[in-house]
Amino acid sequence: MAHNAKKALQELARRGPHDVLHGDLALVGLPGVVCAPRSGRGLAAVAFGHGWLQPARRYTGLLRHLASWGFVVAAPTTHTGPFASHRMFAADLRTALDICVNVRLGEGGISVDERRLGVAGHGMGGGCAVLAAAEDSRIRAVAGLSTTETTPSAIAAAGRVSVPGMQLAGERDLMASARSNAEPINRAWGGPAQLRTVRKAGHLAFAEGRHWSELLLQGRSHYGSQRLSRALLTAFFLRTLTGDRRGSELLTNDVSGAAIDGEHSKGPLAAA
């Protein structure tokens, strides 16, 4: 099983089989970016929320990676300032999903199935993804990277979310420790939930490139953490949104650098 999980990690960490289109959400009324396969009908879609003070471009590699595996991925670039509204950013994630469902993307050859919607995010965006899922019954899966508590509370909202959830916490994250954030979110979660701790990851490990916010926030971009998170999120959304089992072994086994926290996980994601 561990060998199969390693093989799944290697496969899903690589670029998927689809050519990727990159577009501007502002053209349809919401600042942000969208990545999608060149064509496809009835696709799954994921709205991704950036971390506090982070531009959406710091996640372009992850967005393009998910798109290469067949997902439409929309990332609003709103509430990037120091006084971000968590409630409104969660609403923007839901609006991004509305756009994916209702606007024909690309040259008209892309459509999204409303029954295949997920949300994900980093830091503040991870907490807002939980808020969005608690308010939107269309959302079928939620993933967070170094998720932080929000106002209103993502921990309280987690109890109203019954769909599968995955949280990846950074071992060296001093801003969003698992004990204060991911662990209580998973304890409160209303459905199957998994927590993994990513070795050597600080708070900004999942953000790509350099940014002035590194002067204020802890950690810096870390390729190994990004590679692990791309593979794990791909496996998670393939299984929960499309029924694709290629990453099932990855969802049920430890992999080097990202062990499952059995104490704070519940329910089998691969059977969701």
| Residue 271's pLDDT band (cuts 50, 70, 90) | low
Dump pLDDT digits (tens) for 116-147. 999 999 999 999 999 999 999 999 999 999 99
Element (DSSP H or E) covering residue 126? helix 124-135
| Residue 47's pLDDT band (cuts 50, 70, 90) | very high
Dump pLDDT digits (tens) for 184-241. 999 999 999 999 999 999 999 999 998 778 777 887 889 999 999 999 999 999 999 9
**CA-angle at 55, arms to 54 and 60, nearest 5°:** 115
- Sign of the Cα pseudo-torsion (38, 41, 43, 47, in order): positive
Give the pLDDT score at 2. Answer: 54
Whole-model pTM: value is: 0.94
Segment 16-30 shows an average pLDDT of 91
Give the pLDDT score at 21. Answer: 94
**Residue with the two structure tokens 């704070």:** 264
Closest CA to 219 of 166, 167, 168, 176: 176
Tell me the HSE value of 6 on the side-chain side, using a 13 A CA sphere: 5
Q: Which domains does the chain have, with CATH numbers?
A: 1-265 (3.40.50.1820)
Segment 7-29 shows an average pLDDT of 92
Q: Which structure tokens are listed for 162?
A: 């019954």
**CA-angle at 13, arms to 211 and 92, nearest 5°:** 50
**Residue with the two structure tokens 């509204």:** 85
First to last CA, the chain: 19
Q: Which structure tokens are listed for 203?
A: 């708070």
Q: Which residues pair with 36 in a beta bridge?
A: 21
Closest CA to 225 of 125, 78, 122: 122
Segment 154-178 shows an average pLDDT of 96
Residue 109, phi then psi, degrees to nearest 5: -95, 10
Closest CA to 73 of 107, 109, 11, 116: 116
For residues 211 and 197, the answer to whether their CB atoms sit within 8 Å is no
**Residue with the two structure tokens 């209702």:** 102
86: pLDDT strictly greater than 90: yes
Segment 80-91 shows an average pLDDT of 96
Tell me the HSE value of 176 on the side-chain side, using a 13 A CA sphere: 32
28: pLDDT strictly greater than 70: yes
For residues 258 and 196, the answer to whether their CB atoms sit within 8 Å is yes
Q: How far is CA 188 from CA 51, 90, 101, 153, in A?
A: 22, 19, 30, 11
Segment 154-165 shows an average pLDDT of 98
Average pLDDT value for the chain: 93
- Sign of the Cα pseudo-torsion (264, 128, 76, 205, in order): negative
Task: Compute the chain's Rg from CA coordinates.
Answer: 16
**pLDDT > 70 fraction of the chain, expressed in percent and rounded:** 97
157: pLDDT strictly greater than 70: yes
DSSP three-state, residue 203 = coil
Give the pLDDT score at 143. Answer: 98
